[in-house]
Amino acid sequence: MKSQQINSSAGLRGEITVPGDKSISHRSIMFASLAQGSSCIRGFLHGEDNLATLNAFRAMGVDIDVSLDAVIRIKGKGFFGLCEPTDILDCGNSGTTIRLLSGVLAGQKFFSVLSGDQYLRRRPMGRVIEPLMQMGAQIWGREQNRCAPFALQGSPLGGITYHSPVASAQVKSALLLAGLSASGTTTVYEPHVSRDHTERMLRYMGAEVQVFAGGVSVEGGQQLQGRDLEIPGDISSAAFFLVAALIVPNSELLIKNVGMNPTRSGIVDILCSMGANIRILNERHAGEEPVADLLVCSSELRGIEIGGDMVPRAIDELPVVSIAAACAQGTTTIRDAAELRVKETDRIAAMEAVLQTLGVEVETHADGMTIHGIERFNGGKVNSCGDHRIAMSAAVAGLRTSTVLEIEDTGCTAISFPAFWELLHQVAIPTGKN
Ligand code: S3P
């Protein structure tokens, strides 16, 4: 099992770009495969999660060409042009792959089985299986239809109106995709707005999607048209460098081409409320998605309260927010974030263990945590629990520890950010070399 040692840094300096957005990369492969005509995708994230999606569509007969110039060319097959896969579709560690695929597969004319790694097989799948079955899907899954592996016998679907108990873009997207192959209208309501990349990309590819207060709906029988897609840098990956530059004195870092979709940019709002010096420059669009460059400088942070609508806008960034909070003056409380318990690992428990090793006083709640900021972290040894975002959050903390921080099980960063360690070493000046 790989591990990494992180030493304290005297500052982060330079100009970087982060890899393509993971959520948008998944959707680009899926929607281009389901479209009529060809699509060229630029900026695709070649992380393990997205490759699971790419391999699944190849296994269903889609011609996907990954060229040396990193452009992906896909000849779409239309909504009903996929073939029955001859083996289980392995979604690896990727919740987005398994949940969105279940929405695609439920209405096909063939049989398929979805599974994944030990972490994915523990995650809740009832949240998509149950509403899909209400639409007429035939699904058989482990643990009374709550866990993967699960099998789908494609069948005709009918639209439903569904009130999702959780704000989840994966649930919403699975139902919208199923809705496109269903008869009638499919409407999804959610308690808070989740990321809207599906809605944006479906529209960009020619579908009609109605968005209204608290919900979204699609009519069945629509076709998507292949188009060229440009994927912005992932704000969830940028988040590690934002927090690193904020908490390490003498830092000034320019992060270029970051996706700034308002349903994802909660991390910038949270850090700015904590007193962060982040300048948003060069605002523009990549297709339907807003993009900007972010200039971040070391800042004195203060504790805040985080909850409500803000949580889905920053759900994947809350582990690294907990590191920022641990360096802030005063107390930070994160609430309404029970979803963290069912991510790649229980991220509340995993971050509690990391913070305790660092010497931070922390109380956990069923739906969040309270963190009391301190001046400097202790070094020691922490474990990622096989979760890419825990590994990278710990790495950020290691830039401010009094002695070396060893992080165990770090191979998982290849899931979303294959070049993370190289990029960190490139911009973080070691102490003593300033
Ligand atoms: C994602 C949605 C979020 C997020 C995940 C990616 C997506 O999950 O945490 O990393 O691409 O739709 P939920 O839909 O479970 O909130």
Domains of the chain, CATH where assigned: 3-20+233-430 (3.65.10.10), 22-218+226-230 (3.65.10.10)
- Ligand 1 center to 63 CA (angstroms): 27
Numbers of helices and strands, H then E, in the chain: 14, 24
pLDDT of residue 433: 54
- Ligand 1 center to 171 CA (angstroms): 9
pLDDT of residue 434: 47
For residue range 101-123, list pLDDT tens digits in order.
999 999 999 999 999 999 999 99
pLDDT of residue 299: 98
* Residues in the chain where the model's pLDDT stays below 70: 433-434
pLDDT of residue 1: 86
pTM higher than 0.95: yes
Q: Which of 21, 22, 23, 53 to mutate to test the pocket of ligand 1 (most atoms within 8 A of CB)?
A: 23
The helix or strand, by DSSP H or E, that contains position 13, with its residue range, turns out to be strand 9-17
For 373-384, give the DSSP string.
Answer: --SSB--EEEE-
Residues constituting the chain? 434
Distances (CA, A) of 126 to 102, 151, 212: 11, 13, 26
- Ligand 1 center to 251 CA (angstroms): 31
Give me the active site residues, please: 316
Please work out whether the CB of residue 187 comes within 6 Å of at least one atom of ligand 1: no
pLDDT of residue 284: 98
pLDDT of residue 146: 98
